[in-house]
Chains A and B, each alone.
Chain A
Amino acid sequence: MSDVSIRDLGKAFPKDDGTVTQALADVNLDIQDQEFICMVGPSGCGKTTLLRIIAGLETPTAGEVTVDGNAVIGPDPKRGMVFQEYSLFPWRRVIDNVAFGLEMKGVGKEERRKTADHYIDMVGLSQFRNAYPFELSGGMRQRVAIARALANDPDVLLMDEPFGALDAQTRNRMQRELLSLWAGTKQTIVFVTHSVDEAVYLADRIVVLSQRPGTVREIISIPWSRPRDRTSAEFAEVRRRVLDMINETETSQ
């Protein structure tokens, strides 16, 4: 049971000359439990900032985010995060990376490794459980990062362009795998991407943000069943609509 509610949210970053950069303004968004949301928008529109505020890594300068009615005041393992950069701890083996959150909760070694193994298995990396991150490819690292976030059994999974650094084929495979994982775990997912194709493939609803200061420009529901056919006419149609929207906001400034 995890719905995320974003109310009148604003974020301003102070600049060196004393003025501020308004990154986000008046963002209102309700995300339902078990919903897969993708956020897209022109570069610099603050989509990553919005995600980081939901994670509790940034504090808003106006408004608030609530999860199940509780205001977000800081990071919490209940809100898992997968970063764009490789964020695995290089000094820990895959198994101990995935078990990290449980270790912080004080779960015993035996039990946390058992749980970690389960999630490593889910992302198909059982044979790499004892490998160090530097031995893994980019796609594998992000799969471990997803397993690490899931091992905490979060209510909400926040993903910040997690496949942005991967090549196109790996990326498509990761999207398929993420959907099949999600079909089993059914977390609420907020997924930031700059790839409209990715958003149309994954999301229940696509949130299009406007140019800075970012605000919700449009929300597009995609009711189709999964897996979706990227080459279908309707897919192309939605993709074009979203792209037009982003281009419009980009050129209007």
Chain B
Amino acid sequence: MKNFPERSGRNPSSGRDRRNRIMNRKTQKRTLGIAALVTVAVIWQVIAEYVVGRSFILPSVTDVAGAFADLLTSGTLFADIIVSLEHFGIGLIAALLLGVPVGILMGWFRVADFILDPIIEILRPIPPLAWIPFAIIWFGLTTQAAGFMIFIGAFFPILTATYSAFRTIPKVFVEAGKVLGCNTSFELIRYVALPAAIPAIASGIRIAMGVGWMCLVGAEMFGVSKYGLGYQLWHNFYLHQMPNVVVYMLILGFTGLIIDRVFRNYVDGQLLRWHAGEVA
């Protein structure tokens, strides 16, 4: 066996050095990130307290922290998150149940595309929040009305992602499916097209969740229920409790972030096994 210099002659400490450098990069990233956040908080605090001076116009960091502590002890915060997640879940599941099949139909059958495309193209550009009046008339001030709003927001991104994924499936996969014994469109969709489209559909769902989360706030602001993060945000605005408003803003942001991260980790875990590279 011939010894290659880069193997045998390697300085034993060089691997550790490299690891250390990577570790240093990581700590550096974290330290700088935290430092930036702290700086912004300090500037915010100083401006709120000494420049603006009115909690109604700009609540300070400490005002917000105090409001957060009060809301935690008063106990509705948790219920609000649950209600919002319920609205979100209803809307997202409905959007998936309808958006994926319609997208498959339009992507696979040209006639379905010709029939449905004009309808979709007229409905799609309507901003989701413009549906609020009819959401209330059709469903009343109910959980379903809020769910409907999220459905409207999430449906189109899921539909278009599924559609375009189906339109761009490599022809060779479909033909391989045919010569290997897929006799019907159903079999080709079930065993070839849908699995091939999953990464693109997952990206579409991620976008849909972002839009849906925005619609959630809009729907809840219009008072479709007595709980929910969006409802509380608006309610506290009426009460002029601006520190509470900031708390709800931040919680909305964090919850949205967590939902996105959980979904992405799940999808990556499922798909990265076969799909090299970033998925959703």
Contact = CB atoms under 8 A, between A and B. Distances in A.
Q: Which of B170, B176, B178, B195 has the most C-beta atoms of chain A within 10 angstroms of its own C-beta?
A: B176
B176 A87 contact: yes
A66 to B, nearest CB: 18
B274 A132 contact: yes
Interface in A27-83: 55-57, 74-77, 79-81, 83
A152 B180 contact: yes
Residue of B172, B195, B274 with highest tally of chain A CB at under 10 A? B274
Interface in A104-142: 104-105, 132-134
B172 A87 contact: yes
Interface string A89-107: 1111000000011011100
Interface in B178-210: 178-183, 187, 191-192, 195-196, 198
A103 to B, nearest CB: 8
B198 A91 contact: yes
Contacts of B276: 134
Nearest to A105: B181
B16 interface: no
Nearest to B195: A91
B192 A89 contact: yes
A81 B176 contact: yes
Interface of A is mostly: loop
Contacts of A57: 175, 178-179
B274 A75 contact: no
Contacts of A86: 172
A75 B172 CA distance: 13
Interface in B146-183: 170, 172-173, 175-176, 178-183
B179 A75 contact: yes
B10 interface: no
B92 to A, nearest CB: 24
Contact of B180 (A56, A85, A134, A148): A148
Contacts of B179: 55-57, 75-77, 79-81, 149
A104 B178 contact: no
10 contacts: A57-B175, A74-B178, A75-B179, A77-B179, A77-B180, A81-B179, A90-B275, A100-B180, A101-B180, A101-B181
